[in-house]
Amino acid sequence: MADKGLIPQEIIENKIYLIRDQRVMLDSDLARLYEVDTKVLNQAVKRNIDNFPADFMFQLTEEENISLRSQIVTLKRGQHRKYTPYAFTEHGVLMLSSVLKSSRAIQVNIQIMRVFVQLRKILQSNEKLRKQLEKIEEQLGELKAGHDSHDEEIQVIFKVIRQLTEPTESENKTQIGFVKS
């Protein structure tokens, strides 16, 4: 069964947030993707709560919820949620397909898992590149003593590459929560 085109990848990517240093998706976003009410999704989770340990799912604090709502529009004017949203990690999202047991949930989860894997690969490749650049910079620093202006040109190149591999401001906007000290 082909799942191409079920949900555009960009839509899924835009529903993944960084909260408490974890990439998560919110219950309301997942419910929309699965085409069920948020209440139905959360009831299914509560009936199977043993399948969702703390590293699979957690409920946002009121502060996290306020911060998230200020960054994205989650509710239309006049709508209110009685409880703060639940956030599902990659493993929690995977567990949802077994709890919801619909073909739509399975197809959507396959797409979501592919996006999580792709994001992980991108982050790992950027990390490897950053470490390699640091190593080369160290070697250049050792060789630099007494050399000509080519070293300065190389340093400018490294500065530009480093800027390209660092997260942009728009990527940092989705981070909410408290900073570990």
For residue 177, what pLDDT is reported?
53
For residue 122, the SS3 value is: helix
Report d(CA 103, CA 106) in Å as an integer: 5
Same domain, 78 and 144: no
Could you tell me if residue 1 is inside a domain? no
Asked if 146 and 44 count as a contact pair (C-beta separation under 8 A), the reply is: no
Domain holding 30, by residue range, is 9-120
Same domain, 59 and 113: yes
Asked if 9 and 115 count as a contact pair (C-beta separation under 8 A), the reply is: yes
Could you tell me if residue 180 is inside a domain? no
Could you tell me if residue 4 is inside a domain? no
Q: How many domains does the chain have?
A: 2
Report d(CA 109, CA 104) in Å as an integer: 8
For the chain, report the end-to-end CA distance as a whole number of angstroms. Answer: 48
- Over the chain (181 residues), the average pLDDT of each successive run of 10 is 65 88 92 91 94 94 84 56 88 87 82 84 74 70 57 66 61 52 51
For residue 117, what pLDDT is reported?
85
- 16: part of which helix (H) or strand (E)? strand 16-19
The token pair at 52 is 């969702």
Report d(CA 65, CA 69) in Å as an integer: 6
Report d(CA 108, CA 149) in Å as an integer: 55
For residue 1, what pLDDT is reported?
44
Could you tell me if residue 43 is inside a domain? yes
Could you tell me if residue 149 is inside a domain? yes
For residue 98, what pLDDT is reported?
82
Same domain, 113 and 133: no
For residue 57, what pLDDT is reported?
96
Same domain, 76 and 137: no
Same domain, 104 and 132: no
